[in-house]
Amino acid sequence: MPDNVRSVFNSLSKAGEQAYLVGGSVRDLLSERTPVDWDLATTATPKRITEIFSRVIPTGIAHGTVTVLVGSDALEVTTLRGDGAYTDGRHPDSVVFIKDIEGDLARRDFTINAMAWEPEERILHDPFGGRDDLAAKLLRAVGDPVARFTEDGLRVMRAARFAATLDFDIEKKTLEAIPVGAPKLVKISIERRRDELLKTLKARAPSRGLLVMKKFGMFDRLIDEVHNLQDDQDEPARGKWKQTVRRVDLCPAENALRLAALLFDATSRQQKPFKSLRLDKKTHKKASRLLGVGKIDYRSDWSDAQIRRFLCDTGVDIALDIITLWKADLRAGNEDCQIADELVDRVKRAMNSGDPIVAKDLCVDGDDLMRDLELLPGPHLGNLLERLLSHVIDHPEDNEKSKLIDMARRML
Ligand code: ATP
Ligand code: MG
């Protein structure tokens, strides 16, 4: 356990409260994975927690969660609680703070997430057999899966997510309950569903979760283009959806690339189908650019100038990712992908050659044009530079200041 986490345990213990490591961190430690975050559960009430620690954020006080800041870490410390009834299919109507850890574990979603570690006593609380399921690589709901999935619609999507990220099977009864719970998913906010999808896309092979999501309609009102793709997973033939999930698996685990892989066959590419996901700006922009190019019509007989033009059109910063996506598509369709490797080589050579590819590689800029040709500022300068660039992409030997100024004069 990192020092900061240990220090939070020590403070709670000094204050006479019991504390447990819970959730994903226990699961990850028991399966020799590195936890992404460290969640603590404690007998201290939220008010007590805010008194014990000097730097806190009242994240979800009503539900018992306080974020404790220690050093540069932020830890979620949650009061042991039992959930009341769920009538909205999203959140418990009420929560009651309790003192026993087993009651707290009973409200959690899957057995592997319902274990608690008490560091001082070195006791593992595992009332639902999470450790055995972890060893058997099985995802099993805590208690009655139908009831658990109907309480909170997000859980079916979490099931698909964990199946992918942990590479686990979904236990039979839990799997059978998914179609009952899945229609409740539309009650969950897009942001929470998107986050589960993005976590799924981080898996080594997201297909395992995506197939479950698609089969049970979990893309409904999340990404219509995927929801409407014909689901051919039970057919022996090579179908679009099968190729899609293979393409996603074959892309590096990066959100923009994998989202573009997921939407590669979408008919309305230009409308940026993942707009509905409300992604962060950077991911949205990159995924749009990747999707905007899609398949590449490269052939070995392309000239070096054509390679430079391809780089100029797509953007030097993203060209290799575009080829990676294309290669994943070729492989997913069992096509020869040597052509993509060849393009990578040629693109890298072009980038390192020093030959002009983008406007800033030109030996003149807007200032030179204004001074030497006595022009006023304005969009015509950009226009001229573009035409000059277009010329030197075909004739890199003409990228000299005097030649370019002469050429610009003639263009005017
Ligand atoms: P990750 O490694 O991705 O953080 P995690 O298991 O820690 O996975 P979180 O979403 O961080 O997942 O939730 C922490 C814990 O809270 C879970 O392990 C689980 O015990 C419980 N939990 C979270 N969401 C739900 C839910 N919708 N229903 C029931 N329990 C939940
Ligand atoms: Mg977590």
Q: CA 179, 185, 189 angle in degrees (round to 5)?
A: 170
Dihedral angle, C-alpha 242, 247, 249, 255, nearest 10 °:
-120
Phi, psi at 169, each rounded to 5° = -85, 150
Give pLDDT tens digits for 191-209: 999 999 999 999 999 999 9
In terms of Cβ atoms closer than 10 Å to its own Cβ (0-12, 13-18, 19+), residue 198 is middle
- Region 79-108: mean pLDDT is 91
Q: State the maximum Cα–Cα separation within the chain, in Å, rounded to a whole number.
A: 85
- To which residue do tokens 């000097």 refer? 54
Ligand 2 midpoint to CA 24 (Å):
5
What would the mean pLDDT of 115-122 be, rounded to a whole number?
Answer: 94
Average pLDDT over residues 5-26: 96
Atom of ligand 1 nearest to the CA of 199: 3
| Ligand with the closest atom to the CA of 33 | 1
For residue 237, the model assigns a pLDDT of 47
Q: How far apart are CA 122 and CA 130, in angstroms?
A: 17
The answer to whether 22 and 52 have CB atoms below 8 angstroms apart is no
Q: Tell me which ligand sits closest to the C-alpha of residue 36.
A: 1
Which residues line ligand 1 at a C-beta cut-off of 6 Å? Answer: 23-24, 36-37, 39, 108-109, 113-114, 152, 154-155, 199
Give percent of the chain with pLDDT exceeding 70: 97
- Could you give phi then psi for residue 116, rounded to 5 degrees? -135, 140
pTM of the model: 0.92
Identify the residue whose C-alpha is closest to ligand 1 atom 7: 24
The CA distance from 159 to 133, in Å, is 14
Residue ranges near ligand 2 (ion) with Cβ within 5 Å: 24, 37
| Neighbour count for residue 101 (Cβ, 10 Å) | 22
Best mutation site among 113, 128, 150, 200 for ligand 1, i.e. most ligand atoms within 8 A of its Cβ? 113
- The percent of residues in the chain predicted with pLDDT above 90, rounded, is 82
pLDDT digits (tens, 9 = 90+) for 324-344: 999 999 999 999 999 999 999
Question: What are the angstrom distances between the C-alpha of 37 and each of 5, 18, 21, 223, 384?
Answer: 10, 20, 11, 29, 53
Report CA(114)–ligand 2 centroid distance (Å).
12
Q: Can you tell me which atom of ligand 1 is nearest the CA of 105?
A: 20
What separation in Å is there between the alpha carbon of 46 and the centre of ligand 2? 19
Distance between CA atoms of residues 62 and 77, nearest Å: 13
Ligand at minimal distance from the CA of 111 is 1
pLDDT of 229: 83
Coil, helix or strand at residue 329: helix
